[in-house]
Structure 1
Amino acid sequence: MDTITLAPSAVAAGKSQRLPVVTLFVFALIGFVLVAMETMPAGLLPVIAIGMGTSEGTVGLFVSAYALGTVLVTIPAITLTRGMRRKALLLAAVLGLMLANSVTTISNDVILSLVSRFVAGAFSGIIWGMLAAYGRKISPPRQGGLALAIVSTGAPVGFALGTPLGTWLGSAFDWRWAFAGLTAVVLVAGTLVALIAPDAQGQPGNSRLPVVRVLRIPGIAVILAVIFTWMLAHNTTYTYITAYLRATSSTLTVDLQLFIFGIASIAGIVLTGALLDRHPRLLLHGSVIVFISAAVMLLAGHNSTPAIVVATVLWGITFGGASAQVQAALTSAGGDNSDVANSFLPVAFNVAIFVAGILGAALLTHFDGLVMPIVMIVFGLIALLLTIYGRRTAFRIQI
């Protein structure tokens, strides 16, 4: 259990004088589940299709339905619930996520499964929209960046270990066991939140802005543009990494490259945690520059396995820290409306995922997989220019 010593002023503010490390890692565990839950069907397409007597294309809609739920529900849900106390809202969303995933686990009907995936995505968006601000609210102000970095570890670990583990479990036994395992992890995480997580106040009614006005807060639109372009650059290549490797002379396999990427992402989180509180703007500029450099190396060194491995490590390091860096910027720029500002983040991420799938598919009808690092370079450069443009409003020195 977290050891938390509260002063009267800290109690009023909902902040502890010590970093609530255990609670923050529980938040990271929830993030791990959200990533694994969204992406796991992609690794289980054949077995789910056989088990449900449908096509792989239909099962692929399990991912789309989840993403659609996140995109459509997150912002209005966060807007309607920003006056609620954070712990109660998180527990309610975790319970909803667990129930929706349980329906997917036992359902034999495709339509019911798609509906349950949509609902799970909706609850996922609510959780993503509040985790960052909740983590900072219960942490000392001087360690806000470190708190965000800890909470953000769940996503890269989910990419590195959660999805492959779920795919192996579903393939070795039954795909329903993979979904049931995620439900069990959600139950454990929710129980820990109920037992040890400090509570935090919602947003007072007189300080809330309409959603449109939150978007107009200086810096918010620029940050969202950076998220979209950076994640579009990332996801187009990540989604079609098989096509890229097929166009190279490398002996590297897809599963090994993604594993290397995931481990490097965890290293990126550690690096971000060490630097985010002291050098947030420099860290962001440097991350995007290294991301572009990795793309150049993927293109120029496509006939060299060592070059691809090095590029993958650099790529993973930059991706691992990206979430914490942009969440810190949104939280800082959003101020009292940081919960709503952060609710735009999963929407921007999922729209980028959606567009990346379409863009990559369109490009591969005319080019081979080497076009993917070119996409990374082009949109990475746009993201870099946006970080420079927004250095005074969106990416200030202090977070």
Structure 2
Amino acid sequence: MSMTSPAKGTALSASAPLPWSGLLALSTAAFTAVLTELLPAGLLPRMAPALGVSEARVGFLVTGYAVASLAAAIPLTALLRGLPRRPVLVGTLLGFAVSDAVVALSSSYALTFGARLVAGCMGGTLWAMLAGYAARMVPPERRGRAIAIALAGITLALSLGVPAGTALAEALGWRTAFGVLAAVAVLLVGWIHARVPGFPGEAPHARVPIARVAVLPGVPTVLSVTLFLLVGHQVMYTYVAPFAAHAGFGRTGLVLLLFGAATVPGIWITGLLVDRRPRTALLGALGLCAAVLLTLGLAGGVPGVLPVSVALWGLAFGGAPTLIQTALVDVSGPERADVATSLQTTVYNAGIAAGSLTGGVVLAGPGPGALPWTALPLVAVALGVVVSGGRNAFPSTRRGRRESSDRP
């Protein structure tokens, strides 16, 4: 079996090796974006005096990035969808490089905040195109694994990159850390030019309006699963520290480390299953998330239960975004994946915001013991959607799916 590359007109053989160098370049782009987004959160005490503001206002540098990413994903993707893909990818990385360089050099909070807004816009654009780009580099039957490799940079950034970046800032200064990030983004541009193939943008006659992409068969189902899973996850994850204290396990750093470390094998297992048993893998991940929340609600205070449960939670959640993202690319088609993923990026960030808000209300009201019971029904809804109505969006196997949208 082979697939025609829309860029070159050449056949991609199903038995050909994965384009590891190109996929790892995309994964490094994801790593760079996540590190750019989250690094200020670990540097509040160091950045605040240099910028002449409070730590809370430095925290707004993360908030501003997230808001810009949420607001920019759909309009920028719509604006750029007709352009060749590689120049757009390179442009986002250069945007990251400029932003990080400005942050490294600036002593003005206003200028730094503006640079963070630019970085957020670049992030919204990158997340909208990353999975679709990886999917177009391989035959359809290897698409899931390619997406898993590209998105693995997110997991590595969360579990290893942020702690390493914080340690670098402690050793050499926070400005050096952002300078290194800027240099990495520039070097990554050369890597992408050398190893990542170019693909055309959407031809004017082939462009489907965003509203129509949103209602393509299967797309609303995938977006709804994304929303309910993220709201439920964030209710618990945002306030895991007060819950751990409530459960009598005060070592929040260890809890977060267990979660982050467990996402790595979660991604690896997903890479093995996503192209062969995607529905089974997603049902297993969502079912395990629900079981963990039930266990935490019933027995979170029992010695040993919390760390084991958190590790299983990380294992399950680590692979879920890749499974959902692959399903979205399948139902939208790679040519429309950027637009569909921009919708998912917006839903994803909305889920994070709604989950954090909901968890805060619960924490201030019933208290931390109610967090698992608040998150559990939301994750159960996501699981129920996949079980009852998701066979079109989440089939038992990816083999044999129609791939007409891949061909010119």
Query: TM-score normalized by structure 1?
Result: 0.93
Give the 3 Å change call, closer, same or farther, for CA 44–19 of structure 1 in structure 2.
same
Match of 1:113 in 2: 112
Question: Which one-letter code corresponds to 1:130 in the other structure?
Answer: M
| Alignment map for 1:322-333 (pairs within 5 Å) | 322-333=320-331
In the alignment, structure 1 residue 294 sits paired with structure 2 residue 295: no
Question: Which one-letter code corresponds to 2:282 in the other structure?
Answer: L
Match of 2:9 in 1: 12
Larger mean Cα displacement after TM superposition, 148-157 or 41-50: 41-50
In the alignment, structure 1 residue 46 sits paired with structure 2 residue 30: no
Match of 1:66 in 2: 65
1:146-200 alpha-carbon deviations (Å, 9 max, x no partner): 1011111111111111112222232344222222222222223222111111222
Aligned-pair distance for 1:318? 1.5
Match of 1:269 in 2: 267
Question: Is this contact kept in 1: 2:219–2:328, CA < 8 A?
Answer: yes
Question: Is this contact kept in 2: 1:250–1:304, CA < 8 A?
Answer: no
Partner secondary structure for residue 287 of structure 2: helix
In 2, Cα distance between equivalents of 1:319 and 1:143:
22
Partner secondary structure for residue 295 of structure 1: helix
Give the 3 Å change call, closer, same or farther, for CA 285–216 of structure 1 in structure 2.
same
- The size of the alignment, in residue pairs, is 394
Residue 308 of structure 1, aligned match among 292, 301, 306: 306
Question: Is this contact kept in 1: 2:244–2:306, CA < 8 A?
Answer: no
Larger mean Cα displacement after TM superposition, 279-288 or 381-390: 381-390
Aligned-pair distance for 1:310? 1.6
Question: Which one-letter code corresponds to 1:241 in the other structure?
Answer: V
In 2, Cα distance between equivalents of 1:232 and 1:298:
17
Aligned-pair distance for 1:305? 4.3
Question: Is this contact kept in 1: 2:6–2:200, CA < 8 A?
Answer: no
In the alignment, structure 1 residue 339 sits paired with structure 2 residue 338: yes
Question: Is this contact kept in 1: 2:83–2:202, CA < 8 A?
Answer: yes
Partner secondary structure for residue 381 of structure 2: helix
In 2, Cα distance between equivalents of 1:8 and 1:255:
46
Aligned-pair distance for 1:9? 8.7
In 2, Cα distance between equivalents of 1:219 and 1:14:
28
Identity %: 31
Partner secondary structure for residue 11 of structure 1: coil
Question: Is this contact kept in 2: 1:32–1:157, CA < 8 A?
Answer: yes
| Alignment map for 1:1-399 (pairs within 5 Å) | 11-12=8-9, 15=12, 17-250=16-249, 253-335=251-333, 336-399=335-398
Structure 2, unaligned runs of 5 or more: 399-408
Query: TM-score normalized by structure 2?
Result: 0.91
Partner secondary structure for residue 314 of structure 1: helix
Question: Which one-letter code corresponds to 1:53 in the other structure?
Answer: G
In 2, Cα distance between equivalents of 1:92 and 1:8:
23
Structure 1, unaligned runs of 5 or more: none
Larger mean Cα displacement after TM superposition, 113-122 or 180-189: 180-189
Give the 3 Å change call, closer, same or farther, for CA 8–46 of structure 1 in structure 2.
closer
